[in-house]
């Protein structure tokens, strides 16, 4: 009888909470994120788990927004008693969930690209920030002769944060912003904004909308209105681009992951995804691959910490790295990750042609007080 408790404790799984937008704006991309998490857990468990314990997933719909995130985080942390939160979410959802993360004392690896400077001792980020993503796009447009720009975004933290950085970078490098317009995150009628865009006659368009549905509606309406000027979308992932069909052709994107990365790790990852999900596979992308890698980063941190105690895991997270589909990733810079970035252009078949590669781009000053 005295040995029963330790045996049961050793067999208890380590539970990963995944709050994600299965409904709402992120519903276009969320299934790919869940698939990536499922593959990582399956692989790790098949290899013996983490310190002899299996991993388990608890997925909760955050409805892509603040109210849903509060419910999802509360459920995962206080009812499901997850050991860690690892998830891609909208900025509104992330911000709404952070108080529960702090109060519940769980680590949180945020796997989405975002507007930057979200700082919390429990929060680590392995997606890109504006300092890594915007310069390749604007520099490429400048090289093509663009001098004036029109900016369009979803009206929330990500949309405004990304375009604030974009405006500053455009002006710093000698360009001019001739228009900046926003639509609520759940908005779908871009007609008035497109009219202002056509009146302004910019050399290039840069958009920063909520990942998923807003990208689709905006791009479709732009094409329907005959807009053909150089167009960069700061929020579109490769999977969403493919779902747009012909409307996406020609769009520039800047990403830390594209399926065409030529490395053994990426080829093995894509093969494993294809084998596991077959015809139901969602295109791996710049939102799902960080989810896959983050689970491995958490595994490495737990192993270094010798267990799942939050304080020890948080101390270990900035010191570990994993080599995955995007290369070697470590959240060593103020809880953020230096990343290799790829400038791509969507092709007729929905694939992304890489037109520029930028190695180990520093995320810049994000959370200096956490170092």
Residue 7 has pLDDT above 70, yes or no: no
Pairing assessment for the beta strands 352-361 and 339-346 based on DSSP bridges: antiparallel
Average per-residue pLDDT for the chain: 94
Q: What is the pLDDT of residue 226?
A: 96
**What pLDDT does residue 10 have?**
55
* pLDDT of res. 346: 94
Q: Is the pLDDT of residue 236 over 90?
A: no
Q: Give the pLDDT score at 5.
A: 42
The confidence band for 239, taking pLDDT boundaries of 50, 70 and 90, is confident
Within 10 Å of residue 284's Cβ, how many Cβ atoms?
27
Q: What is the pLDDT of residues 266-304, one digit of tens each?
A: 999 999 999 999 999 999 999 999 999 999 999 999 999
127 — pLDDT class (breaks 50, 70, 90): very high
Tens-place pLDDT, residues 50-93? 999 999 999 999 999 999 999 999 999 999 999 999 999 999 99
| pTM for this entry | 0.89
Average pLDDT for 141-150: 97
Looking up tokens 């992932």 gives 237
Contact status, residue 247 vs residue 220, Cβ threshold 8 Å: yes
CA distance 53 to 275: 25
304-353 tens-digit pLDDT: 999 999 999 999 999 999 999 999 999 999 999 999 999 999 998 888 89
Residue given tokens 């689709």 in the structure block: 216
């Amino acid at each position: 009888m005295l040995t029963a408790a330790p045996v049961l404790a050793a067999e208890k799984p380590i539970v990963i909470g995944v709050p994600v937008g299965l409904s709402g704006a992120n519903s276009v991309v969320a299934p790919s994120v869940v698939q990536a998490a499922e593959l990582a857990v399956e692989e790790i468990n098949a290899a013996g788990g983490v310190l002899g314990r299996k991993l388990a997933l608890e997925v909760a719909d955050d409805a892509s927004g603040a109210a849903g995130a509060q419910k999802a985080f509360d459920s995962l942390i206080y009812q499901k008693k997850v050991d860690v939160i690892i998830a891609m979410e909208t900025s509104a959802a992330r911000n709404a969930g952070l108080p529960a993360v702090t109060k519940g004392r769980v680590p949180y690896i945020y796997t989405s690209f975002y507007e930057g400077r979200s700082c919390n001792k429990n929060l680590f980020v392995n997606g890109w920030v504006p300092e890594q993503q915007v310069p390749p796009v604007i520099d490429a447009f400048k090289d093509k002769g663009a001098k004036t720009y029109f900016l369009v975004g979803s009206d929330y933290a990500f949309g405004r944060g990304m375009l604030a950085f974009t405006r500053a970078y455009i002006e710093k490098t000698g360009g001019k912003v001739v228009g900046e317009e926003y639509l609520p995150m759940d908005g779908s009628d871009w007609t008035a904004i497109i009219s202002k865009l056509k009146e302004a006659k910019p050399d290039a368009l840069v958009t920063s909308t909520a990942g998923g549905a807003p990208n689709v509606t905006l791009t479709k309406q732009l094409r329907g209105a005959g807009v053909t000027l150089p167009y960069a979308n700061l929020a579109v992932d490769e999977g969403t681009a493919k779902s747009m069909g012909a409307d996406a052709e020609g769009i520039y994107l800047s990403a830390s992951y594209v399926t065409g990365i030529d490395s053994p790790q990426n080829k093995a990852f894509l093969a494993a995804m294809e084998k596991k999900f077959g015809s139901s596979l969602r295109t791996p992308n710049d939102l799902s691959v960080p989810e896959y890698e983050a689970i491995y980063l958490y595994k490495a941190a737990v192993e270094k910490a010798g267990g799942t105690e939050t304080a020890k895991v948080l101390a270990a997270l900035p010191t570990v790295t994993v080599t995955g589909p995007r290369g070697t990733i470590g959240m060593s810079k103020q809880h953020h990750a230096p990343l290799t970035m790829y400038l791509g252009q969507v092709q007729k078949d929905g694939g992304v042609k890489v037109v520029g590669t930028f190695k180990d781009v520093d995320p810049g000053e994000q959370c200096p007080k956490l170092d």
